[in-house]
Amino acid sequence: MKSLSTRRVLLGITGGIAAYKSAELTRLLVKAGAEVRVVMTHAATEFITPLTLQALSGNRVHTELLDADAEAGMGHIELARWPDLILIAPASADFIARLAAGRASDILSTLVLASKAPLAIAPAMNQAMWSNTATQENLHILRQRGARVFGPGSGEQACGDVGPGRMTEPQELLELSAALFDTGLLAGLKVTITAGPTQEAIDPVRYISNRSSGKMGYALAAEAAAAGAIVTLISGPVALATPDRVNRIDVLSADEMLAASLSSVQDCDIFIGVAAVADYRPEQVAAQKIKKSADSLQLNLVKNPDIIATIAGLENRPFTVGFAAETNDIEDFGAQKLQRKKLDLLFANDARATLGSDSIAAIALWPAGRAELGPASKRAVALRMVEIIRERLDAR
């Protein structure tokens, strides 16, 4: 189940007899390589103990909205930004009504309200409750807001009735969840992505660099590959594992990154520059380690090539996507960069909130429009970015 590997799944459990099956679902998600955090309503804890889910998920289970201890660990807003997917299984009729009404009356409904992550629900209830117009209207509202509804199945119910309302089996929920990430949106397209910082040598042991972690570029590489693209990731030095099905080329300096990019885009449909390329490099690289002697030392810096502007200026250019990390006037500066570098699309974000962090908020800008993304996990935002790239490609 490759497409669930390293995904962050927030599993919400609400009150219903099917809650006992959520233990198996947790086990299957973990086995598929997902990181799982479980959040339970009070009613759910009447059916299955948090301790069981804690043991299976390997993480503390959240049950309280107002819990000083939990807030000191991962608070509820942080938790809302954590997942790549919120899966609620089982989702009771009452909980579905709470979601449709936009309530924040317990920790789980609060998290759903506060989160920008995709939402999937697996309803489980008595067949009469399922068929009731109230429930159907609530589900209609949730679907219109983008929620996926998995099931329910039909058959014998715990109460003795026969009909629709049985929670979809854990194995099928696992497969349906995995399929959410297998979008095929970039199937067969060749995508080149730059990521991470560059290192500009001063002498054999020292360099100038920046705090870029590479997480956003790597998340995008993982999502593009999951969407079926053939991905080349040109990476500065970072401490991250190469995503599945991604061809990674390691570089150090901006010059090396430019050379690798020019070679890769000869045969490429989409170029995405996520790297935080150093703007300047030392004019001279000392052949030997510079000794400390004088009280001050001057380094003369010269401008690095602008990789993305170079790519965008090529005659047969690929669809070119840039990033802009700003500390102020984010949208204005982003729009200027889009125009100046002649990009097809640009994602602008707040550098202070983004650098090194696992979550991100961004504004997508293209010559005739804009869209807001997040705040959410970098993977969840990367998935939206892939969708927007597809839309803009189609509109071109």
| Choices 123-131, 172-180, 268-276, 373-381; region in contact with ligand C5P by CB under 6 A | 268-276
- Residue 270 gets the label, from left (phi > 0), alpha (psi -120 to 50) or beta, of beta
Among 16, 151, 197, 273, binds ligand C5P (CB under 6 A): 273
Structure tokens, 237: 């030095």
Q: How remote is the C-alpha of 102 from its chain's centroid?
A: 24
Question: Is residue 268 annotated as a catalytic residue, yes or no?
Answer: no
Any contact of residue 308 with ligand C5P (CB under 6 A)? yes
Catalytic residue among 101, 159, 241, 262: 159
Site membership for ligand C5P, residue 350 (CB under 6 A): no
Should residue 323 be labelled a site residue for ligand C5P when binding is judged by CB under 6 A? Answer: yes
End-to-end, the C-alpha distance of the chain in Å comes to 34
- Among 40, 275, 338, 385, which residue sits at the site for ligand C5P (rule: CB under 6 A)? 275
Contact pattern for ligand C5P over residues 72 through 101, marking x by CB under 6 A: ------------------------------
Distance CA 231, CA 246 (A): 5
Binding to ligand C5P by residue 197, rule CB under 6 A?
A: no
Q: Is 192 in the site for ligand C5P (CB under 6 A)?
A: no
Pairwise CA distance, residues 102 & 112, whole Å: 9
Task: Kindly give, in sequence order, each residue whose CB lies less than 8 Å from that of residue 329, ignoring residues fewer than 6 positions away.
Answer: none
Q: Does 196 bind ligand C5P (CB under 6 A)?
A: no
Cβ atoms of 82 and 8 within 8 Å: the answer is yes
In the chain, which ranges are continuous DSSP H helix?
21-31, 42-45, 50-57, 68-72, 76-81, 93-101, 107-114, 127-131, 133-144, 170-181, 215-226, 254-264, 307-312, 330-340, 351-354, 378-395
Phi-psi region of 102 (alpha: psi -120 to 50; beta: other; left: phi over 0): left
Query: Closest separation between CB of residue 210 and ligand C5P, Å?
Result: 10
Which window, 46-54, 284-292, 304-312, 369-377, contacts ligand C5P (CB under 6 A)? 304-312
Assess 16 for contact with ligand C5P (CB under 6 A): no
Is the CB of 87 or the CB of 307 nearer to ligand C5P? 307
Q: Per rule CB under 6 A, is residue 232 in the interface with ligand C5P?
A: no
In terms of CB distance, is 214 or 322 closer to ligand C5P? 322
366 contacts ligand C5P (rule: CB under 6 A):
no
Calculate the CA 178 to chain-centre distance: 14
Asked if residue 270 binds ligand C5P (CB under 6 A), the reply is no
At closest approach, how far in Å is the CB of 331 from ligand C5P?
14
Binder among 169, 175, 306, 358 for ligand C5P (CB under 6 A): 306
Q: Does 246 bind ligand C5P (CB under 6 A)?
A: no
- 337 near ligand C5P, rule: CB under 6 A: yes
**Which amino acid is residue 322, in one-letter code?**
G
- Exposure string over 316-352, b if 16+ CB within 10 A, otherwise e: ebbbbbbbbbbeeebeeebbebbeebebbbbbbbbbe
| Contact flag: residue 389 with ligand C5P (CB under 6 A) | no
In the complex, the residues that contact ligand C5P under the rule CB under 6 A are: 194, 254, 273-275, 277, 304, 306-308, 322-324, 337
Catalytic residues: 159
